[in-house]
Amino acid sequence: MADPTDPTNPLRQTVGRALGRVPSGVFILTTVATEPPGRFPLAMMVSWVQQAAFAPPSVCLALGRDRPIRSVLEGSRRFTLSVLGQGDSDVLKRFARGFEPDVDPFDGVATHATPGGLPVLSDALAWLDCRLTQSFDFDADHLLLVAEVVDGQLQKDGAPFTHVRGNGFHY
Protein backbone atom coordinates (compact mmCIF):
# COMPACT_ATOMS: atom_id res chain seq x y z
CA MET A 1 0.00 0.00 0.00
CA ALA A 2 1.28 3.48 -0.81
CA ASP A 3 2.29 5.78 2.04
CA PRO A 4 -0.85 7.78 3.01
CA THR A 5 1.34 10.57 4.41
CA ASP A 6 2.84 11.16 0.94
CA PRO A 7 1.31 14.45 -0.34
CA THR A 8 0.79 12.91 -3.79
CA ASN A 9 -1.22 9.96 -2.45
CA PRO A 10 -4.96 10.41 -3.18
CA LEU A 11 -5.79 8.95 0.25
CA ARG A 12 -4.36 12.10 1.78
CA GLN A 13 -7.31 14.07 0.42
CA THR A 14 -10.07 11.50 0.93
CA VAL A 15 -9.25 9.46 4.03
CA GLY A 16 -7.02 12.18 5.49
CA ARG A 17 -9.70 14.84 5.42
CA ALA A 18 -12.25 12.43 6.93
CA LEU A 19 -9.86 11.32 9.70
CA GLY A 20 -9.09 14.95 10.45
CA ARG A 21 -12.69 15.47 11.50
CA VAL A 22 -12.44 12.99 14.37
CA PRO A 23 -12.43 15.35 17.39
CA SER A 24 -9.65 15.17 19.95
CA GLY A 25 -9.16 16.62 23.38
CA VAL A 26 -6.01 18.41 24.50
CA PHE A 27 -4.06 17.12 27.50
CA ILE A 28 -0.66 17.63 29.06
CA LEU A 29 0.97 14.29 29.87
CA THR A 30 3.53 14.36 32.67
CA THR A 31 5.78 11.65 34.00
CA VAL A 32 8.79 11.59 36.30
CA ALA A 33 11.99 9.62 35.80
CA THR A 34 12.79 7.26 38.64
CA GLU A 35 16.29 6.33 37.46
CA PRO A 36 19.46 8.34 38.12
CA PRO A 37 20.47 11.10 37.77
CA GLY A 38 17.32 11.64 39.85
CA ARG A 39 13.65 12.43 39.63
CA PHE A 40 12.84 15.06 37.05
CA PRO A 41 9.56 15.93 35.31
CA LEU A 42 8.94 15.47 31.61
CA ALA A 43 5.85 16.76 29.85
CA MET A 44 4.26 16.91 26.41
CA MET A 45 0.94 17.72 24.81
CA VAL A 46 -1.16 14.71 23.78
CA SER A 47 -4.50 14.69 22.03
CA TRP A 48 -5.34 11.07 21.28
CA VAL A 49 -6.77 10.15 24.71
CA GLN A 50 -10.04 8.35 25.40
CA GLN A 51 -11.76 6.73 28.36
CA ALA A 52 -11.50 2.98 27.85
CA ALA A 53 -13.26 1.33 30.84
CA PHE A 54 -15.44 1.94 33.90
CA ALA A 55 -14.07 -0.76 36.21
CA PRO A 56 -11.31 -0.22 36.83
CA PRO A 57 -11.51 3.31 35.45
CA SER A 58 -9.10 3.36 32.53
CA VAL A 59 -7.92 5.52 29.64
CA CYS A 60 -6.07 4.72 26.45
CA LEU A 61 -3.79 7.01 24.51
CA ALA A 62 -1.67 6.92 21.41
CA LEU A 63 1.97 7.95 21.78
CA GLY A 64 4.42 8.37 18.93
CA ARG A 65 7.03 5.65 19.19
CA ASP A 66 9.85 8.18 18.68
CA ARG A 67 8.82 10.51 21.56
CA PRO A 68 11.65 10.99 24.11
CA ILE A 69 9.16 10.74 27.00
CA ARG A 70 8.33 7.14 26.01
CA SER A 71 11.28 5.41 27.71
CA VAL A 72 10.74 7.33 30.95
CA LEU A 73 7.02 6.59 30.93
CA GLU A 74 7.59 2.89 30.26
CA GLY A 75 10.17 2.79 33.08
CA SER A 76 8.11 4.58 35.71
CA ARG A 77 4.74 3.21 34.50
CA ARG A 78 3.13 6.32 36.02
CA PHE A 79 1.84 9.50 34.42
CA THR A 80 -0.69 12.26 34.85
CA LEU A 81 -2.98 13.93 32.37
CA SER A 82 -3.95 17.56 32.87
CA VAL A 83 -7.20 18.24 30.98
CA LEU A 84 -6.98 21.64 29.29
CA GLY A 85 -9.93 24.01 29.11
CA GLN A 86 -11.39 25.49 25.96
CA GLY A 87 -9.46 28.77 26.21
CA ASP A 88 -6.06 27.31 27.07
CA SER A 89 -4.43 27.87 23.66
CA ASP A 90 -1.33 29.48 25.22
CA VAL A 91 -0.72 26.32 27.28
CA LEU A 92 -1.32 24.18 24.19
CA LYS A 93 1.24 26.18 22.19
CA ARG A 94 3.80 26.03 24.99
CA PHE A 95 3.66 22.23 25.32
CA ALA A 96 3.05 21.40 21.63
CA ARG A 97 6.55 22.58 20.70
CA GLY A 98 8.26 20.13 23.04
CA PHE A 99 11.29 20.82 25.23
CA GLU A 100 14.99 20.19 25.16
CA PRO A 101 16.08 17.60 27.75
CA ASP A 102 17.70 20.21 30.01
CA VAL A 103 14.66 22.56 30.04
CA ASP A 104 12.11 22.45 32.86
CA PRO A 105 8.73 22.21 31.07
CA PHE A 106 7.02 23.80 34.08
CA ASP A 107 9.24 26.87 34.45
CA GLY A 108 6.82 29.76 34.97
CA VAL A 109 3.74 27.51 35.00
CA ALA A 110 1.71 26.91 38.16
CA THR A 111 1.69 23.24 39.13
CA HIS A 112 0.98 21.11 42.15
CA ALA A 113 1.58 17.47 42.98
CA THR A 114 -1.10 14.79 42.97
CA PRO A 115 -1.34 12.60 46.08
CA GLY A 116 0.80 10.16 44.06
CA GLY A 117 3.53 12.82 43.79
CA LEU A 118 3.33 13.65 40.09
CA PRO A 119 2.96 17.24 38.83
CA VAL A 120 -0.20 18.56 37.19
CA LEU A 121 -1.15 21.99 35.90
CA SER A 122 -2.91 24.00 38.60
CA ASP A 123 -5.05 25.85 36.04
CA ALA A 124 -6.23 22.73 34.18
CA LEU A 125 -9.91 21.78 34.26
CA ALA A 126 -9.10 18.40 35.75
CA TRP A 127 -6.30 15.92 36.27
CA LEU A 128 -5.97 12.15 36.16
CA ASP A 129 -3.24 10.16 37.89
CA CYS A 130 -2.60 6.99 35.87
CA ARG A 131 -0.76 3.69 36.13
CA LEU A 132 0.32 2.15 32.82
CA THR A 133 -1.06 -1.38 32.54
CA GLN A 134 -0.55 -2.31 28.87
CA SER A 135 1.37 -1.10 25.86
CA PHE A 136 0.35 -2.35 22.42
CA ASP A 137 2.62 -2.28 19.41
CA PHE A 138 0.39 -2.63 16.35
CA ASP A 139 3.09 -1.98 13.71
CA ALA A 140 2.26 1.70 13.28
CA ASP A 141 4.05 4.98 13.99
CA HIS A 142 2.29 5.19 17.39
CA LEU A 143 1.89 2.79 20.31
CA LEU A 144 -1.39 2.34 22.13
CA LEU A 145 -1.08 2.69 25.91
CA VAL A 146 -3.76 1.61 28.38
CA ALA A 147 -3.67 2.91 31.93
CA GLU A 148 -5.74 2.57 35.07
CA VAL A 149 -6.84 5.90 36.54
CA VAL A 150 -5.86 5.64 40.21
CA ASP A 151 -6.80 9.19 41.22
CA GLY A 152 -8.20 12.35 39.73
CA GLN A 153 -9.97 15.59 40.44
CA LEU A 154 -12.13 18.18 38.71
CA GLN A 155 -10.44 21.50 39.53
CA LYS A 156 -12.95 23.86 37.92
CA ASP A 157 -16.00 23.85 35.70
CA GLY A 158 -15.72 24.59 32.02
CA ALA A 159 -15.68 23.07 28.58
CA PRO A 160 -12.66 20.96 27.65
CA PHE A 161 -10.38 22.02 24.80
CA THR A 162 -11.32 20.03 21.69
CA HIS A 163 -10.08 20.35 18.16
CA VAL A 164 -10.25 18.80 14.72
CA ARG A 165 -7.40 18.64 12.25
CA GLY A 166 -7.46 19.66 8.61
CA ASN A 167 -5.92 16.32 7.66
CA GLY A 168 -5.74 13.07 9.63
CA PHE A 169 -2.16 12.37 8.54
CA HIS A 170 -0.49 15.05 10.64
CA TYR A 171 -1.04 16.81 13.95
Domain that holds residue 88: 26-50+68-131+154-163
Is 168 inside a domain boundary?
Answer: no
The angle formed by the CA atoms of residues 36, 37 and 41, to the nearest 5 degrees, is 95
Is 15 inside a domain boundary?
Answer: no
103: CATH: 2.30.110.10
Is 138 inside a domain boundary?
Answer: no
Q: In the prediction, which pLDDT does 39 show?
A: 60
Q: In the prediction, which pLDDT does 1 show?
A: 55
Q: In the prediction, which pLDDT does 33 show?
A: 82
Residues of the chain with pLDDT under 50: none
Is 115 inside a domain boundary?
Answer: yes
* Close Cβ partners of 16 (under 8 Å, ≥ 6 residues apart): 4, 167, 168, 169
Q: In the prediction, which pLDDT does 98 show?
A: 81
Could you tell me the CA-to-CA distances from 43 to 1, 100, 116, 156, 157 in Å, in that order? 35, 11, 16, 22, 24
| Count of domains observed in the chain | 1
Q: In the prediction, which pLDDT does 115 show?
A: 95
Is 75 inside a domain boundary?
Answer: yes
Is 12 inside a domain boundary?
Answer: no
Is 142 inside a domain boundary?
Answer: no
The pTM assigned to this predicted structure is 0.91
Is 143 inside a domain boundary?
Answer: no
Residue 30 host element (H or E): strand 27-32
3-class DSSP assignment, residue 122: coil
pLDDT in tens, 47-77: 999 999 999 999 999 999 999 899 999 999 9
**Ramachandran class of 114: left when φ > 0, alpha when ψ lies in -120 to 50, beta otherwise:** beta
Residue 82 host element (H or E): strand 78-83
Alpha helix segments (H runs only) across the chain: 15-19, 69-76, 89-96
Q: How far is CA 64 from the centre of its chain?
A: 10
